[in-house]
Amino acid sequence: MMSGMVRRRVRSLDDQVVGKANVNPILDTRSYMVEFPDGYDSAYTANLIAQNMYTQCNINGNQFLVFKAIIDHSYDEALKEDEKNFGPQQMTTNGWKLAVEWRDGSTSWENLADLKESFPIKVPEYVMASNLEKEPAFWWVTNILKRREKTMLASSTKYIKRTHHFGLEIPKTIKRVL
């Protein structure tokens, strides 16, 4: 799934717009040209565009983005200078931004504080891979990664319940055979 930009209504050879609006969305036949980030454009009906937009949002209208990878980082140097003038460096994520590549092919710069909560394992892994763990803003990374290891070790232990098979209780006479 890729994001695109609706550019214009589709027009016929005699320069008339294609399709007609209708109060009933099922009968709405308008068509629009959608341009994608790679330069490709294609015609889509209003219903298909609306359905695609609706499926990418939650009930509050917030868009769902599926994470692919963190590809870069930046820090606002002006904030670093302010911290020097007003006291010791604080353990804050202010000024840090991460470039994220999303599954739809788009990229965007996001605040570290937002990504830290949404992707609690991916961000520390990127920080360690980029050797940023010594920066004051990343004081929490080693603790998160230690907890991740413990959680993964704990979750790998399994218990097989021998009194049930496929959710059904096994009679005692059959248990001996198993």
What gap in Å lies between CA 134 and CA 124, rounded to an integer?
Answer: 12
Residue 155 clears pLDDT 60, i.e. is over it: no
How many CA within 13 A on the CB side of residue 144?
A: 17
pLDDT score of 178 more than 80 = no
The one-character DSSP state at 41 is E
User: How far, in Å, CA of 99 to CA of 112, rounded?
Assistant: 10
pTM comes to 0.56
Name the E strands within 10-65: 31-35, 41-45
Is residue 94 very low, low, confident or very high in pLDDT (cuts 50, 70, 90)? confident
Separation of alpha carbons 164 and 166, rounded Å: 7
Place of tokens 């454009």: 41
Higher local confidence (pLDDT), 98 or 166? 98
Domain chopping of the chain, boundaries: 5-55, 67-155
Q: With a cut of 70, say whether residue 71 has pLDDT above it.
A: yes
